[in-house]
Amino acid sequence: TRTSRPQRILKAVQRKATVGDPQSVITAIDHFCRHREWAMNVGDEKGSILDSVVNEVSPVTVLELGTYCGYSTVRIARLLPPGACVITLEFNPDYAAIARQVIKWSGLEDKVQLVEGASGDWIPWMKEHFGVQAFDLVFLDHWKERYLPDTKLLEECGLIQKGTVLLADNVICPGTPDYLEYVRNSPHYNSQYYRSHLEYTKAEDGLEKSVFLGY
């Protein structure tokens, strides 16, 4: 039977990466996706911007929307200090199963809480279920029409506080016009575009970093 792309990505990790070495997992996935099969990971070029934002924020609690194979989860988790963690949401059970193995292979399972389900269903339960006060960093990388409604939902649920940083991927390609218009025009956010390229291509894409300033 034919394997899926995520299964082939996992195979590449198992063949090329060292157990317990997150950087080798990242390198194996980037190599596979650049030379064999394109996949929707944030990738190495935008990934280094993601790394610098994680380092700058130095978050204790991170929320990631859209796990896919766990590539960006591993990128984020490897930079977290002891005691910090990333909660990552994925509604496709087949992708979640692959991501669990990729995260395990990286040795980062203690820093990652992978939640299987839809963002709109889970966000209202975050405080109760995980005991989080608010997130220091939110990485938005799920379906693009969900960026804006989920941001408003996070605000309503009190999960965004003064200083919370939203980092949104693919704001140009495929694009998130309603979200960009919101964060760029709201007096409650200080928003900045980081120009880059769509993962593993030369097409323009970028990340939007928006700092919540409080009400």
Question: Where does this chain bind ligand SAM (CB under 6 A)?
Answer: 40-42, 66, 68, 71-72, 89-92, 95, 118-119, 141-143, 146
169 binds Mg ion (CB under 5 A): yes
Q: State the binding partner of 95 from ligand SAM, Mg ion, none, CB within 5 to 8 A by kind.
A: ligand SAM
Hey, which residues are catalytic here? Answer: 141, 144, 169-170, 199
170 binds Mg ion (CB under 5 A): yes
Q: State the binding partner of 165 from ligand SAM, Mg ion, none, CB within 5 to 8 A by kind.
A: none
d(CA 7, CA 164) in angstroms, rounded, equals: 34
119 binds Mg ion (CB under 5 A): no
Instruction: Identify which of 14, 17, 15, 36 has the alpha carbon closest to the alpha carbon of residue 25.
Output: 17
User: In this structure, what is the dihedral angle of CA atoms 144, 146, 148, 152, given to the nearest 10 degrees?
Assistant: -160
72 binds Mg ion (CB under 5 A): no
Q: Which residue is nearest to ligand SAM (CB)?
A: 66
Which residue's CB is nearer to ligand SAM, number 41 or number 210? Answer: 41
Q: Which position has the token pair 């980037």?
A: 30
Q: Each residue of 66-80: b (16+ CB within 10 Å) or e?
A: bbbbbbbbbbbbbbb
| Beta bridge mates, 137 | 62, 165
Query: What Cα–Cα distance (Å) separates residue 134 from each residue in 18, 86, 146?
Result: 34, 12, 20
Q: State the binding partner of 189 from ligand SAM, Mg ion, none, CB within 5 to 8 A by kind.
A: none
Q: State the binding partner of 68 from ligand SAM, Mg ion, none, CB within 5 to 8 A by kind.
A: ligand SAM
Judge whether 157 and 127 are in contact, CB under 8 Å. yes
Residues 122-151: x where in contact with Mg ion by CB under 5 A, - otherwise, as a string: -------------------x----------
Which residue's CB is nearer to ligand SAM, number 31 or number 188? Answer: 31
d(CA 116, CA 185) in angstroms, rounded, equals: 33
164 binds Mg ion (CB under 5 A): no
Q: Which residues bind Mg ion (CB under 5 A)?
A: 141, 169-170
